[in-house]
Copies of this chain bind each other. A is one copy, B any other.
Amino acid sequence: MSSPRRRVIPEATIARLPIYQRCLLELEAGGRTKASSEQLAELAGVNGAKVRKDLSYFGTYGTRGVGYDVPHLLHEIRRELGMTHDWPCVIVGAGNLGTALAKFGGFTDRGFSVVAIMDVDESKVGQKVGALTIRHEDDLADVVAELDISIGIITTTAGAAQDVADQMVEVGIRSILNFAPATLDVPFGVLVRDVDVAIELQILAFHEERRVLSEAEIV
């Protein structure tokens, strides 16, 4: 009755799968058909044991004495990550960042396409962003249904973010990528991932600051 293999896969492992995928793509582009865990680890910037453990979670068969079959492993990771089909996304917030993301093709080739961009600002509605036309935020339910969207991207100001998240949840979106510097409150079952460049910079600054302090101490 139980699935043959359905272990709980650790979050940390999931976060590394896209990196392995990237490395495997590089290897494939270079014509390599086999790779050992150590080679993959080198490319991914982690250690070999971790690679083997990560891959073992979803029962991918490497071959002892040989390594992993690059195309096969790539296929398995793609399947595991749901990269076998395209993911349509909607961006809410047609500001600087939102429009830049919409125009930026960098995800399209990785299986994600921005199929709609929306804003509350009436004056923006109707304007073009690349091939897309900005639509009004109130149409979210329609747009999501029409285009079968399951991923929402929030690029509004911090103040508007919670409202947008609520709307997204209401129309059935359960995966949200949030660029707004705000902590979103969503019901259980909805997954939010935050991308906050300022936080990343602050973490760098923290270490930079400490570095200066410790050096002063040594001298």
Contacts and interface: CB of A to CB of B under 8 A. Distances in A.
A168 interface: no
Contacts of A181: 22, 106
Contact of A175 (B80, B193, B198, B208): B208
Contacts of A104: 96-97
A179 B193 CA distance: 17
Interface of A: 3, 14-15, 17-19, 21-23, 43-45, 80-83, 87, 89, 96-97, 100-101, 103-104, 106-107, 110-112, 150-151, 174-177, 181-185, 191, 193, 195-209, 211, 217
Nearest to A180: B106
Nearest to A108: B198
A124 to B, nearest CB: 17
A219 B21 CA distance: 32
A97 B195 CA distance: 15
A155 to B, nearest CB: 10
Contact of A100 (B96, B183, B184, B193): B96
A182 to B, nearest CB: 8
A111 B205 contact: yes
B208 A151 contact: yes
Given A45-B185, A96-B104, A177 B205 contact: no
